[in-house]
Amino acid sequence: MPSPIVTLAVLSIFVFVALLWRRELFFALPFLVALNGVPLPIGGMQVRLDQIVACVLVIPLSALVLSGRRRLLIDATAWWLLALWVANVIASVLNSPARTYSLSQCANLASAWVIYLLVINFLDTREELDRFFERCLWGALIAGCIGIVAFLLAIAGLSIGGAEVSRSAAENLTRPFGAYGTMVEPNIFGSFMGAMMALSVTILAATPRMAARPVSTRLLRWTAAVSAAGLVLSFTRSAWIGAIVGLLSVAAVGHRSLGLRTKHILVPPLVGVVIVIVLLLLPGSAGTFLRFKLVNLVNLESPTAVLRLLTYSIALKQTLLHPIIGLGTYSFAPLLAEGSDFARFEGWRGLWIGNYLLLALHDTGAIGLLLWAGLIWSIIRRGGRTAQATSEVDPPFAARTLALIAAIVSLLVAFLATTGFSLGYPWLLIGLLGAHARLATAARSDPLPSPQEALIPLPADAT
């Protein structure tokens, strides 16, 4: 345990760094969120870089608010998020069998969820929003390239990490098969790639009247291509389905309200199908595993489905102990251990509920599940209102807002099979959508907006 003097010295350094390089740290977040598979060991804990930076950035934000130099913005989504976090803390204090562990996980959630608050507060202008959005594309492009290269090298027999292609993983399901690059596992990597593919493809499908994009078309095309390839090589069915649902949802809405070209939205999924067909014909572990995935896409008797259903049934049985308030944050493994030290069990980190809605019901009860429903409703509703309100005055802005909705919808579907809401990148994307809604609403105070920067005011209840 470090001495108080050492702790004070470290905190002082953090404060100095945060105050001096606030903007640099904030604009590094789009790259850092992709490094959730490269944690730093600190005090016996595995801490992610985006967590550290997010916590550090809270310091200058607090200083600016306390000094009166800016007002802290807390929108409707942030209030829902705060209420959900409070529900986690209350359930952990009252009912968790491993209270210290559950409360530490509450702190872990706060360090990821605070990214939303940082994004909506630090992106004050359209220029900053454009710059941050472009960095998100670059971050996804780099993360996707790393995962793809790692997979190809592993298939060629030169494993450098970042991909699992072993025969045991393909045939016996001992480990998740596929590319994951710098992210935790193929499921998380695939969900990220699917979200970024849905986002970039939606913008590329914009009609010519929406062509005045602040982000280059070349970058969007590369992001779409690389993320589509990364999505396929993650071998994650839920991410595949999530990306398709995200694209179809905006195709159904966007072709009417924004004139999105549906055929352009359908091209990347068709390219993905071609890649899948090629992989199906390949010999070796990759082809074997992909054939297994496709054959058992909806097979409830497959080994992975049986294990998942067993986990869900145990979780539901545990939920009956405290159905209203819940059992505490990530209390599934401690409850399964029945009083033993669950951290001593081999593979205990695999004892988790891979569905964010069931996880919410288990950990925070009916109250938490309702809060999650309110949070999702707030995110989609505000994004939809923003896209609709800006469709005539600023079509590129509206298209990008709709693209962010497509990305978030893809995550909401993908995370029904593997939850990643304890990580930073979902809140980065959700924060970007919140920042778009904020700037659109703030434009009401600008009496003479320029044609390129104008944003039509939202209805009064949009916030």
Strands (E), 267-378: none
| The pLDDT value given to residue 120 | 95
Mean pLDDT of 239-255: 81
Within-domain flag for 66: yes
Q: Is residue 356 within 8 Å of residue 415, measured between CB atoms?
A: yes
| The pLDDT value given to residue 264 | 61
Tell me: pLDDT of 2 over 60: no
Torsional class of 151: left (φ above 0), alpha (ψ -120 to 50), beta (otherwise) = alpha
| The pLDDT value given to residue 21 | 76
Tell me: pLDDT of 449 over 50: no
* Of 127, 134, 202, nearest in space to 408 by CA: 202
Tell me: pLDDT of 114 over 90: yes
CA atoms within 13 A on the CB side of 80: 17
Describe the crossing of helices 425-442 and 186-204 by its angle, rounded to 10 degrees.
Answer: 30
Q: How far apart are alpha carbons 133 and 405 in whole angstroms?
A: 14
Q: What does the pLDDT look like over 311-360, one tens digit per residue?
A: 888 888 889 999 999 999 998 888 877 655 555 554 545 567 888 999 99
Position 184, amino acid: V
| The pLDDT value given to residue 458 | 42
User: Alpha helix (H) ranges present in 123-172?
Assistant: 126-155, 167-171
Q: What does the pLDDT look like over 235-245, one tens digit per residue?
A: 888 898 899 88
Within-domain flag for 326: no
Q: Is residue 198 within 8 Å of residue 403, measured between CB atoms?
A: yes
Neighbours of 347 (CB within 10 A): 6
By residue range, what is the domain housing residue 109? 4-301+349-462
- 214: DSSP letter: S
Q: What does the pLDDT look like over 354-407, one tens digit per residue?
A: 889 999 999 999 999 999 999 999 999 999 899 888 877 888 888 899 999 999
Work out the percent of the chain whose per-residue pLDDT is above 90.
40
Tell me: pLDDT of 167 over 70: no
Neighbours of 450 (CB within 10 A): 7
Tell me: pLDDT of 159 over 70: yes
Residue 228 in tokens: 């589509």
Most confident residue range from 298-302, 415-419, 448-452: 415-419
Within-domain flag for 286: yes
Within-domain flag for 420: yes
| The pLDDT value given to residue 289 | 58
Count of domains forming the chain: 1
Q: What does the pLDDT look like over 182-238, one tens digit per residue?
A: 998 899 999 999 999 999 988 888 755 555 556 778 898 899 989 998 998 888 888
* Number of helical H runs and strand E runs in the chain: 18, 4
| The pLDDT value given to residue 358 | 92
Within-domain flag for 318: no
- 123: DSSP letter: -
Q: How confident is the model at residue 138 (pLDDT cuts 50, 70, 90)?
A: very high
Work out the percent of the chain whose per-residue pLDDT is above 70.
71
Within-domain flag for 307: no
Mean pLDDT of 143-151: 94
| The pLDDT value given to residue 341 | 53
Mean pLDDT of 238-255: 82
Q: How far apart are alpha carbons 398 and 384 in whole angstroms?
A: 9
Q: What angle do CA 131, 133, 137 make, to 5 degrees?
A: 115
Mean pLDDT of 130-148: 95
Tell me: pLDDT of 278 over 90: no
Q: How far apart are alpha carbons 250 and 140 in whole angstroms?
A: 21
Q: How far apart are alpha carbons 296 and 291 in whole angstroms?
A: 8
| The pLDDT value given to residue 103 | 94
Give the alpha-carbon dihedral of 450, 455, 459, 461, to 10 degrees: -120
Within-domain flag for 343: no
Mean pLDDT of 132-153: 94
Does the predicted model carry a pTM greater than 0.95?
no
Within-domain flag for 330: no
Strands (E), 39-191: 40-42, 45-47, 163-164, 178-179
| The pLDDT value given to residue 93 | 96
Q: Is residue 399 within 8 Å of residue 391, measured between CB atoms?
A: no
Cα-Cα end-to-end distance for the chain: 45
152 vs 209, which has greater pLDDT?
152
